[in-house]
Structure 1
């Protein structure tokens, strides 16, 4: 088993807003709306920069896709 590498974990699992938009397939205003309504919660927000966990964005993407059907 490899030792835990925090830089690798962050690179693979923490997303910027632009990456979250790409994975979820929504626009920046839609991301802002999801944050405002509490449907997604950034793990950190500094000024105009928000960070998200990949697994939460992927789960939201799957939920949004199922709602479209």
Structure 2
């Protein structure tokens, strides 16, 4: 996916919609902080920026991971639905 930004306002809008904090990722994927740490450590999710107390992720990476998780749950845990 390509991003084209020409103004500061467009950049701010892009960041607000396409960048997620760790807390937002936890809510989106419905996982624990430990599970997120494991996904990052194993390279399943790669933060775009690591701050001292937080990590930032691209929304498209999180949505891709969410879709993969749903497929795995359907395959290996069909009784949960």
Per the normalisation by structure 2, the TM-score is 0.78
**Of 43, 50, 74, which aligns to 1:45?**
50
- Aligned to 1:60, which of 62, 65, 71? 65
The one-character-per-residue Cα deviations of 1:16-53 (angstroms, maximum 9, x if unpaired) are 00101111121111000000000000000011210000
> Which residue in the other structure is 1:21 paired with?
26
Give the root-mean-square deviation of aligned CA atoms: 1.1
Q: TM-score, normalised on structure 1?
A: 0.90
Aligned length: 67
Do the aligned partners of 1:42 and 1:50 also contact (CA within 8 Å) in 2? Answer: yes
Provide runs of 4+ in structure 1 moved above 2 Å.
none
Alpha-carbon separation, structure 2, partners of 1:58 and 1:28? 17
- Structure 1: tracts of 5 or more residues without a match: none
In structure 1, the residue matched to 2:14 is 9
Structure in which a larger fraction of residues adopt strand = 1
Q: Structure 2 unaligned segments of length 5 or more: list them.
A: 1-5, 75-81
